[in-house]
Amino acid sequence: MADTSRGDKLIISTVGALNRQKGAEALIEFVESLPAECRDKVEVRLTGSVIGIPEDRLRDLGVHVSENRGVRSRTQLLEELADADWLLFLYSNGYYKVTASGAIMDALALGKRVLALRNDYFEYLSDKFGVFGVMEPTPAQLSKRIAEIMEEGQRPDPDFDAIRTALSPRNVAVRLRGELERVGLVERIPIRRGTADEAAVK
């Protein structure tokens, strides 16, 4: 059974502006590597501006380039991303921690599965808080994986409620204090059993 959500189209959306470091060329490789049998079942959307690659080239490949890519509020951007089935992250490895940190939190808050090039930051988040999508070493391997998911109908089923709870500001603060206590930078304060703080540090 194919993994499609609206008719025969699976919507995969980029997040924000694209340039060389943020995956502009990788996006082309991803689209060109999609197997022919699933290309008409996938709609790849560009939600931000692109620098370094002519937009006409993307359109020729079937990428939907938004006509409304000027200055937008965060609310407008999130509304656009909310329509996607998967969010696509193709940043160079060194840019994930610096550039993708806010975007991945938006993806998790929206409950969107993620397609990403393998990187230490997303692997850390997955190991710590739960798997939220698919990571592969190259754009071509990501294309192959999404085609397999569509064919098999067995997509990842992340527990986004649990992930969002784990990443809430309160729970992150409790974990941070626990780490600071562990290395002796702050005085250890006993945590009462059965409280939210006890659950947060587990």
Each residue of 91-145: pLDDT tens digit? 877 766 666 577 888 888 889 999 999 988 889 889 988 899 999 999 999 999 9
> Higher model confidence: residue 200 or residue 135?
135
| CA gap 22, 26 in Å, rounded | 9
pLDDT band at residue 69 using 50, 70 and 90 as cut-offs: low
State pTM to two decimals. Answer: 0.78
> What is residue 113's three-state secondary structure?
strand
Closest C-alpha to 115, from 137, 98, 97, 83: 137
Place of tokens 């940043």: 91
pLDDT at 124: 87
Is a pLDDT exceeding 80 seen at residue 63?
yes
pLDDT at 169: 76
- The domain spans of the chain are 10-156, 168-201
Q: Provide the phi-psi class of 201: left if phi over 0, else alpha when psi is between -120 and 50, else beta.
A: alpha
Closest C-alpha to 26, from 139, 106, 176, 149: 139
Closest C-alpha to 16, from 105, 129, 149, 142: 105
| CA gap 173, 200 in Å, rounded | 9
> Higher model confidence: residue 180 or residue 29?
29
Place of tokens 């754009």: 139
> Higher model confidence: residue 140 or residue 53?
140
**Residue 3 and residue 149 in contact, taking contact as beta carbons nearer than 8 Å:** yes
Chain-wide mean pLDDT for the chain? 80
Q: Is 127 exposed, middle or buried (0-12, 13-18, 19+ CB in 10 A)?
A: exposed
Backbone angles phi, psi at 147, to 5 degrees: -65, -40
pLDDT at 100: 59
**Residue 4 and residue 36 in contact, taking contact as beta carbons nearer than 8 Å:** no
CATH of domain 10-156: 3.40.50.2000
